[in-house]
Amino acid sequence: MRRAMTARKLQMAGGVLTVAMLLASGSSSASGDMAAKAGSAGAREIYVHVPTPEGIRVQSTELEGPVFATADGHTLYVWPFKRMRVGYSGEQKGKPACYDEVLKTTAGLMSPYPAGAELPELDTRPSCAKLWPPVLAKADDKLVGKWTVVDRKDGTKQWAYDEQPVYTSILDKQPGDVYGGFSRRSGGDSPAGRQPIGPPSKVPPGFDVKTTTLGRLLTTKKNYSVYSYDKDTPEKSNCVGECAQVWTPLIAPETAQPQGDWSLVVRSAGVKQWAYRKKPLYTYTLDQRPSSLEGSDVPGWHNVYTQFAPSFPKGFTLQDSIAGQVLADAKGKTIYQYNCGDDSQDQLSCETPDDTQVYRLAMCGAGDPVRCQKNWPYVLADKGTTSISRTWTVMSIDPKTGHRATAGQTDALSVWAYRDRPVYTYAEDKAPGDVYGDATGEWRGGRNGLKAIWVRDDFFGGGQ
Amino acid sequence: MGLSLATAGAGAADFVPKDGKIGYAMTDLYWAIYQTPDAKQECPKGFNDGPREQFDKLFPAGKKRTVADTQLLLETKTWLTSPEPDGFVFKEIVGPTSYGLNLDGKVDANDFTSPTGEKGIDNQLYRALGCVIGFRGPDGVEYIFENKAISQSRYNRTMIEITGVDSLVNDDDVKVTIYRGLDRLLTDATGNKVMPGGSQRVDDRWGKKLIQTIPGRIKDGVLTTQPAKQMIIPWMNLGVPTFQLIRDMRFQLKLTPTGAEGLIAGYADVDIWYKQLIRNDSTHHLSNGQISGISLYKALRRLADAYPDSQTGANTAISSALDVKMVQVYINAPPSNTITAAR
| Average pLDDT, integer, range A378-401 | 97
Name the minimum distance, in Å, from the CA of B21 to any CA of chain A.
26
Assess B51–A contact: CB distance below 8 Å, yes or no.
yes
Higher pLDDT, B232 or B2: B232
| Closest chain A C-alpha to B34 CA, distance in angstroms | 29
The answer as to whether B150 is a domain residue is yes
Average pLDDT over residues A46-74: 97
Question: Poorest-confidence range of A6-15, A128-137, A307-316, B323-332?
Answer: A6-15
The verdict on A118 touching B (C-beta cutoff 8 Å) is: yes
Task: Please report the sign of the dihedral spanned by the C-alpha atoms of residue A412, residue A416, residue A419, residue A425.
Answer: negative
User: Contacts of residue B70 in chain A, CB cutoff 8 Å?
Assistant: 113, 117
Whether residue B58 lies within 8 A of chain A, CB to CB, comes out as no
Q: Specify the long-range contacts of residues B298-301, CB closer than 8 Å, at least 24 apart.
A: B298/B82, B298/B83, B298/B84, B298/B85, B298/B86, B298/B90, B299/B90, B299/B92, B299/B128, B300/B125, B300/B128, B300/B270, B300/B273, B300/B274, B301/B83, B301/B270
The DSSP code sequence of A305-343 is: EEEEPPPPPTT-EEEEETTEEEEE-TT-PBPEEEEEB-S
Is pLDDT at A192 greater than 60 in this prediction? Answer: yes
Quote the CA–CA distance of A25 and A27 in Å, as a whole number. 6
pLDDT at residue number A186: 63
- With 90 as the cut, is the pLDDT of residue A31 above it? no
**What are A302-337's pLDDT values in tens digits?**
999 999 999 999 999 999 999 999 999 999 999 999
Check pLDDT > 50 for residue A27: no
Give the pLDDT confidence of B7-22 residue by residue, as tens digits. 444 467 788 999 999 9
* Residue B57 touches partner A, C-beta closer than 8 Å: no
Q: Tell me the chain A residues in contact with residue B204 when contact means C-beta distances shorter than 8 Å.
A: none
How many CA atoms does the CB half-sphere of B17 hold within 13 Å? 27
B interface test, pick of A325, A442, A455, A459 with most B CB neighbours within 10 Å: A459
Mutation for testing the B interface, residue in A111, A289, A322, A426 having most B CBs under 10 Å = A322
Please name the member of B51, B64, B206 whose beta carbon is closest to the beta carbon of A322: B206
pLDDT of B11 reads: 65
User: Would you say residue B35 has pLDDT above 60?
Assistant: yes
Q: What is the pLDDT of residues A132-150, one digit of tens each?
A: 999 999 999 999 999 999 9
Q: Quick one: average pLDDT of B50-71?
A: 96
Tell me what percent of the residues of chain A surpass a pLDDT of 90: 87
Q: What is the DSSP string of A53-69?
A: -TTEEEEEETTTEEEEE
**Residue pLDDT, tens place only, B67-93:** 999 999 999 999 999 999 999 999 999
Q: Closest partner residue to A117 among B65, B184, B283, by Cβ? A: B65
Confidence class of residue B335 from pLDDT cuts 50, 70 and 90?
low
Chain segment B244-272, per-residue pLDDT in tens: 999 999 999 999 999 999 999 999 999 99
Distance CA A62, CA A77 (A): 16
Asked whether residue B5 is assigned to any structural domain, the reply reads no
The Cβ of residue B148 has, within 10 Å, a number of other Cβ atoms equal to: 12
**pLDDT at A22 (0 to 100):** 37
How many independent structural domains does chain B possess? 1
Residue B1 has pLDDT above 60, yes or no: no
3-state secondary structure of A440: strand
- Measured CA to CA in angstroms, residue B319 lies from A210, A234, B148 at distances of 46, 62, 24
* B194 closest CA partner among B203, B183, B210, B202: B183
Are B153 and A439 within 8 A, CB to CB?
Answer: no
Which candidate from A444, A458, A460 shows the least CB-CB separation from B282? A444
CB contact A441 to B (< 8 Å)? yes
Chain A, residues 57-116, CB within 8 A of chain B, namely: 85, 106, 110-114, 116
Q: Could you tell me which residues are beta bridge partners of residue A164? A: A161
Mean pLDDT value of segment A439-458: 95
- Does residue B98 form part of some domain? yes
Closest Cβ–Cβ partner in A322, A358, A435 for B68: A358
Closest CA to A29 of A328, A429, A391: A328
In this predicted structure, what is the pLDDT of residue A185?
66
Alpha-carbon dihedral sign for residues A366, A371, A372, A376 = negative
Looking at chain B, which residue has its C-alpha nearest residue A112? B284
Mean pLDDT of chain B: 93
% of chain B beyond a pLDDT of 90: 91
Contact criterion met (CB < 8 Å) for A322 and B210: yes
What is residue B12's predicted lDDT score, i.e. its pLDDT?
Answer: 74
Q: Do B241 and A362 touch (CB under 8 A)?
A: no
Q: Which residues of A65-74 are buried (b: 16+ CB within 10 A; e: fewer)?
A: bbbbbbeebb
- Asked if the model's pLDDT at residue A99 lies above 70, the reply is yes
Summarised one tens digit per residue, pLDDT across range A222-251 is 999 999 999 999 999 999 999 999 999 999
DSSP-derived 3-state class of residue B139: coil
Using pLDDT thresholds of 50, 70 and 90, give the confidence band for residue A463. low
Contacts of A201 (CB under 8 A, 6+ apart): A45, A46, A47, A48, A65, A66, A207, A208, A209, A216, A306
Q: How far apart are CA A244 and CA A238, in angstroms?
A: 9
Q: Which residue is closest to B52 within chain A, CA to CA?
A: A112
A111, A187, A324 ranked by CB distance to B287: nearest: A111
Which of A189, A323, A441 has the CB atom closest to B79's CB atom?
A: A441
Judged against a pLDDT cut of 60, whether residue B336 lies above it is answered with no
CB B199 within 8 A of CB B169: no
* B284 interface with A at CB cutoff 8 Å: yes
DSSP string, A334-393: BPEEEEEB-SSTT--B--STTS--HHHHHHHHTT-HHHHHHHS-B-BPPTT----SSSEE
Contact B206 A187 (CB under 8 A): no
- pLDDT confidence band for B2 (50 / 70 / 90): low
| Position A25 pLDDT exceeds 80 | no
DSSP A109-167: -STTSPS-PBPS-TTTPPPHHHHS-B-EE-TT---BTTEEEEE-TTS-EEEEETTEE-B
Question: What local confidence, expressed as pLDDT, does residue A412 receive?
Answer: 97
Contacts of A440 in chain B (CB under 8 A): 79, 279
Query: Do A362 and B72 make contact, defined as CB atoms within 8 angstroms?
Result: yes
Q: State the count of interchain CB pairs (< 8 A) between A and B.
A: 123
| Angstroms from A210 CA to nearest CA on chain B | 20
Instruction: Examine the pLDDT at A37 and tell me if it is beyond 60.
Output: no
Q: Does A122 touch chain B (CB under 8 A)?
A: no
A317-321, strands of its sheet edge to edge: A317-321, A324-328, A454-457
Which residue on chain B is closest to A358 by alpha carbon?
B68
Average pLDDT score over residue span B21-33? 98
* Cα torsion angle, A202, A208, A211, A216, sign: negative
Q: Is A32 an 8 Å CB contact of chain B? A: no
Residues B232, A322: C-beta atoms closer than 8 Å: yes
Quick count: other Cβ atoms within 10 Å of Cβ A292? 23
> What is the rounded CA–CA span in Å between residue A210 and residue A184?
8
**Cβ neighbours of A324 in B, within 8 Å:** 206, 241
- B276–A contact, CB cutoff 8 A: no
Decide if B20 contacts B342 (C-beta within 8 A): no
Percent of the residues in chain B that have a pLDDT greater than 70, as a whole number: 94
Contact A320 B52 (CB under 8 A): no
CB contact under 8 A, A288 and B71: no
**Which pLDDT score, from 0 to 100, does residue A460 have?**
84
Q: Assign residue B210 a region: left if phi > 0, alpha if psi is -120 to 50, beta otherwise?
A: alpha
pTM of the predicted structure, to 2 decimals: 0.92
What residues of A are in contact with residue B234 (Cβ under 8 Å)? 322-323
Q: Which residue has the higher pLDDT, A26 or A180?
A: A180
Q: Do A297 and B205 touch (CB under 8 A)?
A: yes
Is B304 domain-assigned? yes
> How confident is the model over B123-129, as a mean pLDDT?
98
Closest CA to B163 of B247, B229, B225: B225
CA distance B201 to chain A (A): 11
Contacts of A442 in chain B (CB under 8 A): 75, 282-283
Binning pLDDT at 50, 70 and 90, where does residue B341 land? very low
Identify the closest residue of chain A to B282 by CA–CA distance.
A443
Whether B273 has its CB under 8 Å from any CB of chain A: the answer is: no
Paired with B174 in beta bridges are: B216
Mutate to test the interface with A, among B71, B202, B237 (most CBs of A within 10 A): B71
**Which of A219-228, A289-298, B2-11, B286-295 shows the lowest per-residue confidence on average (mean pLDDT)?**
B2-11
> For the residues A93-110, what does the mean pLDDT come to?
98
Over residues A330-364, the pLDDT tens digits come to: 999 999 999 999 999 999 999 999 999 999 999 99
C-beta of residue B33 within 8 angstroms of C-beta of residue B137: yes
CA distance B231 to chain A (A): 13
Question: How remote is the C-alpha of A258 from its chain's centroid?
Answer: 30
pLDDT of residue B334: 73
Alpha carbons B208 and B199: distance in angstroms, whole number: 19
DSSP element (H, E) containing A187: none
- Predicted pLDDT of residue A119: 98
Residues of B in contact with A358 (CB under 8 A): 67-68, 72
Residue ranges making up the domain that contains B159: 18-342
CA distance B130 to chain A (A): 23
> How far is A463 from A335, CA to CA, in rounded Å?
14
Whether residue B194 contacts residue B185, with contact meaning beta carbons closer than 8 Å, is answered with yes
| For A109, nearest residue in chain B (alpha carbons) | B284
Q: Which of A1-10, A11-20, A396-405, B159-168 has the lowest mean pLDDT?
A: A1-10
